[in-house]
Structure formats: C-alpha cells, structure tokens
Structure 1
Amino acid sequence: MVEIAAQVPEEIADWFAGRGWRVRQHQADMLAASQAGKHAMLVADTGAGKTLAGFLPTLAAFCPSVLNGAAPPDGLHTLYVSPLKALAHDVQRNLLTPVADMGLDIRIETRSGDTPSDRKRRQRSRPPQILLTTPESLSLLLSFPESFALFAGLKRVVVDEIHAFATQKRGDLLALALSRLQAIAPDMQRVGLSATVADPEAFREWLAPWGDVDSVALVAGERGAAAQVEILLPEEERVPWGGHAAIWAIPQLYRRVCECRTTLIFTNTRFLAEYIFQKLWEANEQNLPIGIHHGSLSTEARRKVEAAMARGELRALVCTASLDLGVDWGDIDLVVQMGAPKGSSRLLQRIGRANHRLDQASRALLVPGNRFEFLEAWAAKDAVDEGQRDGEDFRPGSLDVLAQHVMACACAAPFDEQQLLADVRACLSYSWVDQSVWERVLSFIATGGYALRAYDKFKRITRDGHGVWRLTHPDQAQRHRMNAGIIVDSEMLSVRFRNGRSLGKVEERFAASLTPGDTFQFAGLNLEVEQLRDMELVVRACRKAAMIPSYGGLRLPLTTHLASRVRALLVDRAGWARFPDDVREWLEVQDWRSQLPGPDNLLVESFPHGGREYSVYYTFTGWNANQSLGMLVTKRMEDMGLMPGGFVANDYSLAVWGLKPVEDPAALLSPTILQEEFIDWVQDSYLLRRAFREVAVIAGLVERQHPGKRKTGRQVTFSTDLIYDVLRKYEPGHVLIEAAWADARSRMTDIERLGDLLDHAAERLEHVQLERVSPLAVPVMVMIGREAVPQGAADDELLLEAEALASAAMERDMPL
C-alpha cells in the first residue's frame, strides 16, 4: 500500500478513503504506466473499477496537489471512446461524482448521433476537457478543419470495451482515427479497457502505434468473485424440442422478478425483446414497473429507461445488446439470458451487469429455448466457471472503411498522399496496405474507378502535380458528413404519434407491409397505423391484438469455442447424469439408435420421412456457415440428379431433403466446392449484392442522405444494384467488389469455418442410414416450413409438430 499511495495524488487517495475503498493495484499500475509515458491495456473483471482506472491519470492531471499552483489544463485533454451511446452517458454520470467530490475543474460532455447540432458546433470551438464519444462521431470530428486545433493538445484516448468492436469494421475506423490523432498529437497516450479479452496480447498489438507492442503496458486486474450461474428448467414439463423464445419460462421468470430488486433480461434480437416484454407484461399481476430497451427505440425512450434504471425505479428491464457493455447499475441483482448465449465472453459480459462489484458474485439465470440450447447453456456455464473466454480473430482492415477515412481526411484539409499512407500503415489493421492498394483506393475516391470515371458525381477528390489531394468541391465535405458511418442497417422509418412524439424506428420492409388500420406492437405499446407518409409511420395507441415487427440483420454466431464444448458434452456419457431426465433420455436414445457427433467427427444421418429423403449434417459451425453449406450442397445435389427440395439450418446442424436418397455425402462435401460452386453461387445470389450495397454506402459511392431528403431503402438498393452490374461486367477487380467479397466470405457465409469443416470432412465423416428420424434431428426438422414465421409467433405450432416428430424418434424399442 505504501507503493500505491506514493503514486496517487492526495485528493484521489482521500476520495477513495472517504468511501471506505482502497486504490486497487491495477488502478495504481495504470497511473504508473501513464507517468512512465506508456500506452496501457487493462484486462480486469467487471466491477474492478476499470473505467476509473482508465481515467485516474486524467483526474490526477487536474488535482491541485499535482498542479502545484498552475492553472488546470485547458482544451480537450482526454477522449473516451465506447461502442455504445448508453455506455458513454453512463460513464458521464459516474465520472461527475468523483470530479464534484474532489472539486476538480473539469467539464465532461458526450458526443454521439443523438447530440444536438448546436452543442456539436460549440464542442468544436470550445471543447470540454473530457469528451465521451463513439468511433463514428470521432471520425466525423476528424473531418472538420478545426480538428487540428481541437486535438493538438490531446493527452489521452481511453477505448472502453475494446473487445466489442476492435475486430470489426468499427474497430477499423477507430484504428485509423487513432493513427490520425497520433499524427496530430504525437505524445497522446492510448488506453484499452476490457473484461472479456481471450487473447490480451493480440489486442495489445492492435492498440500499439506502428506495431510497437513494447510501448503498451499490459495490466492485469484483480480477480473478482466467481459468478453464480443457474440454468432454468421447466418445473413440470420437459425441456422443449424446438423454438427459441423460451416462452415456457415466463411464469417462473416472473416469480424471479418478484423476488429480486432489479432484473436485467437479455435477448438476442429486437423482435424477442418486444415479444418477451409482451409476455412478461401479460403475467405482471402485481403491475410491477418493467421496461424495454433496444436500439430501434427513440433516443427519448432509451434515455428515459436508462435514467429510471439509474434511479432504481424499475423492477425489470428487457433489452438486447444495446445494454451489453459496461453500464454500471449496481442495484441489479439478477441477469437473465433468454435463449442461447452463443459465446462465453458475451455471457460473461452480460452477467457482469449484475451487482457490478468485484467482491460480490454476479447472479445469472440462463433460459434455454430447446434441448440444443440447454447443452449450449451448460457449455457456457462451464466456460464461465472455468474463466475460459472466446473471441474473434483480427482480420485485415476493410477497404471501404479506408476509403471513408481518406475522404474524412480530405474534408479536414488537403493531404499529402505519402504522409497519409504512413499514418494509415501505422495501425495494425492497415499495416498490410502497399502502394498498389493505396493507389487503387485513391483512384476510387477520385473517379469512382475505371468503369465509373465518366460520371462527375463520383469525382470527390483531385490531385495536384505534387501529390497533394484536395476536395473537388467544398460541397463534398457536407455530403460526406451527412452519409458517413459504419453501421448499415436496413432502412428505417420513424414511428410517431400525430402530436409529433417519436417512439423509434421500424424497418422499411416491415412498414411497407402495413396499411391504415393495421396494428403492431412496439416500445411496449399496441399501435394502430393511421398513415404512412414519406419516411414516417403515424400511429395511435390502441387495445387491439397486434403483431411484433420483424427485423433483418445477421444472427449472433455460435463461437467456435462454445461449439467445441457442446460437442464434448455430447460424447461425455458419464456426464449425462447431471442433465434433466428428458435431456439425458434424448441423448441415450440417440446413442442407441444412431451415433453422437463428437469433437473429431462429422456425423451425417440419412432417413426417409413424409415421402422425402432427408440428410442431417451435424456441423456445429453456426447458422451463417450452415446456410452457406445448404446452398452449396443442394446445388451439387441438383447437378448429381438427386432432385433436392430444400434445406433448413440452425447453429448446430443442416437438414437437406430431396426425392432421392444421398448414398455418399462425402461427394457433396469435397473442398473443391469452395473453389468452384461457391464462387458461382455467391456471384449469382443476393449475398454479394447485399455485401456490395453495404460497402458502397460505407465507402461513400452511394449516398443515403441529401440536404432535406433521404433515399428510401428501395432507392439505395436500386442504385447499388445498377452500379454492381456495371462493375461486375466492366471492372470485376474494382476495389469495392473486392471489399464486398471479403464481407461475403467472412460475415455472411463464415467461409473460414466452412472451409475448416470441408477440409476435414472426408477423413472424419461418419454416415449413418436410418429407417426414421433420429432424436438429435428433431430440433432442426421442426424448423421446416417455419423459417418465414417470426421467432416466437409459431412456438405453439412448433411444439406440437416437435411432439409428433419426437414420438417417432424416441419410440422405446430399445432394450431397457
């Protein structure tokens, strides 16, 4: 403690002592790293005071004992970057207390898409000492000429929850922004914070400028109390065969809500958030205050719920990943995960929202929707108990994001191409960019590319004879700022009452299906459509029955780490005794009638059912990879004359059917399928077009927003499809076609996991031919014909169909 006290200013030490706290070793280590002039990466459990540790050097710089009579630092001193707007606002609330208690002269403000435009203008000319923002808002700030003066005195950048976005496109954008900031403020220190990093060294390398890992101190936090994780099981019924909404659990869940002070209930989709909220409210006999929170709700609605939670006024809150990260509400005593957790790190992050104290165990309840989800929940619980985390690998930075960043730099000021290339290469994500790639990116921004250079609308920057680039017209800056961003969701329409009060947004494709008089449920209300005009749905509250809006977007992937754990559970026969009787019986009958897919084999079952021939592939590669495999296998079946009829997929398996039986599945799974059919399929499918739409918007080739007008999703799709067809025919090597292929391979098809599966398929494939459906096949078989029905809405039908299939699969003709 003597060593720690010597490093901490007296004002901070007294503040800790006054609260009965101590400065933890990792907090002191973060302060020491800053004093030594080093960047720092802190990995510490939730509740360990990570955020305060990241800000301690900033607070210390404003302490009178450190200033020794000098004036406090003026201008922007510290930049805090988080992946969520809610987290930035929560951090602001929690920082204001110590700043006020210590009497420090520090202004703290937030900046995001929700910040009023007049405040944004004022922040550029008179910034606070601490600014809390997101990667997108930071990139926009860097696009203004004032950015050089604004950031010239910047001392620190604190990147919170770094694991949540560093491996994605938002991380690419932030990496480029950090390099830009480092060029403006060479002495700026970088800080990364996380509780759930599986490979700290990889993130340390990502954080380091110019790959100088030694310049980044790696700080490990004190270990917290082990989380208490429980799996909820039906009291009288069996664990369901199919479905994902886990509606069976609502009565039991409501009793838990009644017993707790505050319960945070996570769902994996916005649809399920609305659906679970509706079902929970129907069970709410005591009229408890229960809220809902997801990214499509209006800013006003989200802020209202967040404030109510901070004041301890809600007994339960149903939410999505919009509240995954770092929000510090200490009165939450139970976190619930509805449906499959999909990854141990994600689950650990969500569990950490309970108690939010290092010395108190967080309590979590996992509610599986079906039997495979029960195994996944068990595997995730084991991983959490063992402290094992999973995560995504880093991949090369995306070219569409690079194009957006270059355009932002051009909006700020003319740039020298070699100097900017040096800045770009200073970050790990783009260290691979060579002169050839760089020239292609610049050429694209300057002309749109070879096939589009005849059109003036695509000419955004121009170069003089000395390698200096500038905007072709000042208006380009406004156009860029109106359209910049990384998150390209489906086009959204505003939902509002006639008096102008906004409720949030629903997807355009859903809104297009509505006519006046139709009803839907949103923001916890039943709404009737009065009018659809421009980009707005005008509604009124009603008491009529209502459907729930459906949402597009990619599904949360089952991590490789968790998939391996589920496979291990399947073959651990001695461990089945821990499972409920019906789950244990399910596995025992499967083991007797067929086989179980283990860690080192690929099980394929074939059987007749309902006049068709089925094959089920137990891949455990996640939904995206299984969808891709289904497309490829049915195409190859067609070429082989097997007359395929279709397929369905979940995270664990793929079911394919046709009129003729599959005698040799190995022939359908040869690795050449990725070299031949995959390319043809992706080019001819919607996937590459969808990927191109996203990269074209991110790169600024197609603009969604014009002054006073916003394009509809249909107009954006028409524009991008037209350009895609031109480029595919006349310039197939265009930089955005390359970027679209990278997206299609990674996010939309999960080609890496699919490739690993196919590489080993021939040597580890085990084909079992059965007379009827197997127990393990029932969860995927009940999905047939239901994929177009929103999750939850068809659960009762699914369960009835599952029982019919299960009676055949589980028929007790095995010896007892």
Structure 2
Amino acid sequence: MSFELLHPEVQKVLRKAGFEIPTEPQRAAIEKILEGKNVLLLAPTGSGKTEAAMLPVMSMMIEESSEEISALYITPLRALNRDMFRRLRFWCDELGFSISVRHGDTPQSERRRQSERPPYILITTPETLQAILVNRKMREHLKNLRWVIVDEIHELATSKRGSQLSVALERLYEISGEFQRIGLSATVGNPEEVAKLLFGTEREGEIINAFYEKPFEFRVIFPETRKEDVEASEIAGTTPEIASAIRKMREIIEKSRSTLIFVNTRQTAELLGSRMKKLGINVAVHHGSLSRTARIEVEEAFRRGEINAMICTSSMELGIDIGFVDSVIQFSSPREVSRLIQRTGRSGHRYSEVSRGFIIALTPDEILESAVIARRALERKTENIRIHEKPLDVLANQIASLVNEYGEISLQRLLQILRRAYP
C-alpha cells in the first residue's frame, strides 16, 4: 500500500529497481512523512530505513521548483556520507535531482562548485554543518530548505555532537523557517529523549517503532587453550589465550563467506589484525583513524570478496554498505545490549534473514557478562541512552558561532534559539 502513495515517477523508478513490496519500516513511515509530520523512525540495520525516509521526500521534491538546497541528509561519519551518496545517486539520477557530499574530505574545488551551483540534496556531517552555517554563500542556499534527515541519530544523541546538532537545527530554522525533520535510529530504550533532540522543545513529532521480530542467534564462546595455541602464540607474539581465541575465530571465518570481527578499541583492532595476519589469516582492519583512502580500499576489498574478514570498531556498526556478511564475531564482551544488536544486525543484512553473532569471551567474568547481554538482546531489552544536559562547553561554542554567523545578535534572539534546542 505504501508505495502506491508515492509520486508516479518514483513508483516507476521503484519498478525499474525491482522494489515491489515495502519493508515494515517503509510501510510504517512513508504515509506519515508524506503527511509532513516530523518523524523519528526506529528500525534495524538492513530494513530499508534510508528509502523509508527518502522515497517520500523525493516524491514531494518532484512538486518543488527550487534552485537551492531543498534537503539536508546528515550522518555521523564521512564513510557513511560516501555510502549514502552512492546509494541515493541512483534515485537522483533517475528523477533528475542533483546530489552532492560536503564534509572534511571534500576538495576545495567541489566546495566552490557547491557554493556556485548548490545541489538539490546535500549530504553532510554535523561538524561540517556547523561550518556551513557561518559560510555566507551556503547560508543563502539554505533559505528554501524543506527537509532535514538525520541518519543514525542514536549515535549522535549519546555525545555532545547531539547537543551541537540540536542547536544547529534551530539555527537552520532561523535561516529557512520551518522544515520537516526525519530521524533514523537503531533501537534505544528511551526514544522519547532522542525525539526531543531532533524535534526541539516547541514542536510535535511522531515516534515510529518499526522493530519487527528479526531473528537473532548468539553463541558465547570461551575457547579452551590447546598445545597448538601455545605454539601459535610464539609465532604471533601473543598469549596462548589470545591464540586460542584467534584459532576459534579462524574456524568461524573458514565456515563463512564473509565475517566482520568487532572489537571495542582501535588499538585492539590493530593488535588483533597484526597477530591474525602473522598466523596466515586473510583479514584487514577498518577504523576511523585510518586515512580516507585506506578505509575505502578495505571496504571495496571486502565488498569484492578479496578478504575473508574485516576487523572493525564502531565504524562498521552503522549502515555502510559493504556487501554480504553472513557472520559477526564480537571479540571480548560488547558491554552493551544495543551495541550487540547493532553489530550482529550487520549479518543476515536483509530484514528476513537470521543475524548470527559469536561472542568470544576472554575471561571467565566475560562469559557471564556476555551471556546476560546476549539474553537481553534476544528479549530486546536495550539500555536507555544518556543525553548530555545543558553542556556549557557546547553553549559557549554555539554563542561564539552565532556571533560569527550574524556579526551581532541580541540576547533575546540568542536565548530564543538556544531554548528551542533540547536539552
């Protein structure tokens, strides 16, 4: 039913792309977005959240005739920006919309081009949005802004980046007037708080929880140390216990077509990658401290099947398209239920497929902790996220930025902007 509500031109492209039946999040969200409501959509990875937001937005765009930026698509990561550009470009090419990316890696020549000929849809990060707001030319191009989509908003809400974004949205309101706000999120225990961050203190909006019963399977493994692990530890320069964990991971990798190995720190990613390579395992490392070129090379190699496994941090928790993943390994306890769900959800990426996760416990304490987290994940008992309340450093930063933006601003107007932002 939901696809029938879309503009005929969008329906035509849907048929061309082979989309026939909407996913549960698409069924739940498309009508509400077409009605112009502010929406926070909670749905699992691989469920078509992006299309749930952008298909109705593009349907409404067809009726527009603006030469300026009509939609901002905000993501937490530059890598996710690039991925969204690749995914949305097909729809934009078919429907005749211009689309561009602007973030820290964007060349100066491309920035100038955007200033002179703004795209219809601009994909950016929260940090680059702050820079856009003090750029006179780009501010002019935002006067006809109609839609703001914030992807993976749960990732921003837990840090001061979320507080910065909340104020930035109110500063956008000062430039363009009211616009429709759409947030895309993984499951969280307190979605009302995330919604306030997105909608602000003076607007209504709707929370759509489209978390269907996606099947998950978890196994907690505490590998027994064998004689061969002692020998392997000498080759890899590690302990027999870590060598036994690597042996168990090798077994999982060899039974799978492609595997993601999640670790909790970048240092662990590098150390584990080095030791696995010494033992002849075809792996690569991916995290936010790598150069843009290195990250793209790893993503492409994984997508093409040139490497069997990728060791990664939270950089791969989000919806970056890296092709098929049939197994996820969590090295050491994930510490959080929501993190385990998000990471394991990268396997069996299609919403009807089983997501399989293996937790490699490194100590007896981790066995118990991991088992409890896995049980709570199966019961969908996720933690509440903590939003930073009234962070004074963000306040100081935003006051300085607002003065930079306007040159001079009255205290009354400054307070109005800040009070509309939550919290």
What TM-score, normalized by structure 2, do the two folds share?
Answer: 0.90
Partner of 1:376: 369
Q: What's the offset of the Cα at 1:48?
A: 1.4
Question: Is 1:428 aligned to 2:422, yes or no?
Answer: yes
Question: Is 1:30 aligned to 2:29, yes or no?
Answer: yes
Q: What's the offset of the Cα at 1:336?
A: 1.0
Relative to structure 1, is the Cα distance of residues 336 and 165 closer, same or farther in structure 2, using a 3 angstrom cutoff? same
- Amino acid in structure 2 at the alignment position of 1:253: M
Question: Is 1:143 aligned to 2:142, yes or no?
Answer: no
Partner of 2:55: 56
Pick from 219, 239, 244 the counterpart of residue 248 of structure 1: 244
Partner of 2:97: 106
Partner of 1:320: 313
The separation in 2 between residues aligned to 1:185 and 1:245, in whole angstroms, is 58
Partner of 2:267: 271
Any idea what the Cα deviations from partners look like across 1:548-595, whole Å, max 9, x if unmatched?
A: xxxxxxxxxxxxxxxxxxxxxxxxxxxxxxxxxxxxxxxxxxxxxxxx
The separation in 2 between residues aligned to 1:408 and 1:121, in whole angstroms, is 22
Contact 1:143 1:410 in 2 (8 A): no
Relative to structure 1, is the Cα distance of residues 245 and 226 closer, same or farther in structure 2, using a 3 angstrom cutoff? farther
Partner of 1:232: 221
Partner of 1:391: 384
Q: What's the offset of the Cα at 1:162?
A: 1.1
The separation in 2 between residues aligned to 1:245 and 1:189, in whole angstroms, is 53
Secondary structure in structure 2 of the residue aligned to 1:120: helix
Contact 1:110 1:131 in 2 (8 A): yes
The separation in 1 between residues aligned to 2:141 and 2:92, in whole angstroms, is 23
Q: How does 1:48-127 map to 2 (within 5 A)?
A: 48-63=47-62, 67=63, 72-100=65-93, 103-127=94-118
Contact 2:70 2:121 in 1 (8 A): yes
- Amino acid in structure 1 at the alignment position of 2:210: G
Question: Is 1:173 aligned to 2:173, yes or no?
Answer: no
Pick from 345, 350, 373 the counterpart of residue 343 of structure 2: 350
Q: How does 1:554-569 map to 2 (within 5 A)?
A: none
Query: Which protein is bigger by CA-based radius of gyration?
Result: 1
Contact 1:210 1:428 in 2 (8 A): yes
Partner of 2:296: 303
Contact 2:132 2:139 in 1 (8 A): no
- Amino acid in structure 2 at the alignment position of 1:225: K
Secondary structure in structure 1 of the residue aligned to 2:131: helix
Question: Is 1:13 aligned to 2:4, yes or no?
Answer: no
The separation in 1 between residues aligned to 2:264 and 2:280, in whole angstroms, is 22
The separation in 2 between residues aligned to 1:76 and 1:190, in whole angstroms, is 15
Q: How does 1:171-210 map to 2 (within 5 A)?
A: 171-210=162-201
Pick from 209, 213, 220 the counterpart of residue 209 of structure 2: 220
Partner of 2:276: 280
Contact 2:261 2:309 in 1 (8 A): yes
- Amino acid in structure 2 at the alignment position of 1:148: R
Any idea what the Cα deviations from partners look like across 1:504-550, whole Å, max 9, x if unmatched?
A: xxxxxxxxxxxxxxxxxxxxxxxxxxxxxxxxxxxxxxxxxxxxxxx
Instruction: Return 5+ residue gaps in structure 1 as ranges.
Output: 430-816
Any idea what the Cα deviations from partners look like across 1:238-260, whole Å, max 9, x if unmatched?
A: 9xxxx998442111211221221
Partner of 2:234: none
Contact 2:33 2:53 in 1 (8 A): no
Secondary structure in structure 2 of the residue aligned to 1:268: coil
Instruction: Return 5+ residue gaps in structure 2 as ranges.
Output: 228-238
Secondary structure in structure 1 of the residue aligned to 2:57: helix
The separation in 1 between residues aligned to 2:392 and 2:148, in whole angstroms, is 25
The separation in 2 between residues aligned to 1:280 and 1:195, in whole angstroms, is 31
Contact 2:221 2:361 in 1 (8 A): yes
Secondary structure in structure 1 of the residue aligned to 2:206: strand
Secondary structure in structure 2 of the residue aligned to 1:249: helix
Secondary structure in structure 2 of the residue aligned to 1:153: coil
Percent of aligned pairs sharing the same letter: 34
Q: What's the offset of the Cα at 1:205?
A: 2.1
- Amino acid in structure 2 at the alignment position of 1:121: R
Partner of 1:258: 254
Q: What's the offset of the Cα at 1:25?
A: 4.9
The separation in 2 between residues aligned to 1:339 and 1:8, in whole angstroms, is 45
The separation in 2 between residues aligned to 1:226 and 1:358, in whole angstroms, is 9
Give aligned pairs, total.
410
Q: What's the offset of the Cα at 1:313?
A: 3.1
Partner of 2:233: none
Relative to structure 1, is the Cα distance of residues 399 and 92 closer, same or farther in structure 2, using a 3 angstrom cutoff? same
- Amino acid in structure 2 at the alignment position of 1:226: P
Q: What's the offset of the Cα at 1:210?
A: 2.7
The separation in 1 between residues aligned to 2:318 and 2:25, in whole angstroms, is 20
The separation in 2 between residues aligned to 1:61 and 1:216, in whole angstroms, is 19
Any idea what the Cα deviations from partners look like across 1:595-623, whole Å, max 9, x if unmatched?
A: xxxxxxxxxxxxxxxxxxxxxxxxxxxxx
Secondary structure in structure 2 of the residue aligned to 1:428: coil
Partner of 2:358: 365
The separation in 1 between residues aligned to 2:367 and 2:116, in whole angstroms, is 55
- Amino acid in structure 2 at the alignment position of 1:36: E
Contact 1:173 1:401 in 2 (8 A): yes
Relative to structure 1, is the Cα distance of residues 283 and 115 closer, same or farther in structure 2, using a 3 angstrom cutoff? same
What TM-score, normalized by structure 1, do the two folds share?
Answer: 0.48
Between 120-129 and 352-361, report the one with greater CA deviation. 120-129
Secondary structure in structure 2 of the residue aligned to 1:369: coil
Relative to structure 1, is the Cα distance of residues 84 and 246 closer, same or farther in structure 2, using a 3 angstrom cutoff? farther
Contact 1:328 1:353 in 2 (8 A): no
The separation in 2 between residues aligned to 1:309 and 1:387, in whole angstroms, is 30
Contact 1:74 1:129 in 2 (8 A): yes
Q: How does 1:495-506 map to 2 (within 5 A)?
A: none
Q: What's the offset of the Cα at 1:24?
A: 3.3
The separation in 1 between residues aligned to 2:240 and 2:201, in whole angstroms, is 45
Secondary structure in structure 2 of the residue aligned to 1:341: coil
Question: Is 1:331 aligned to 2:324, yes or no?
Answer: yes
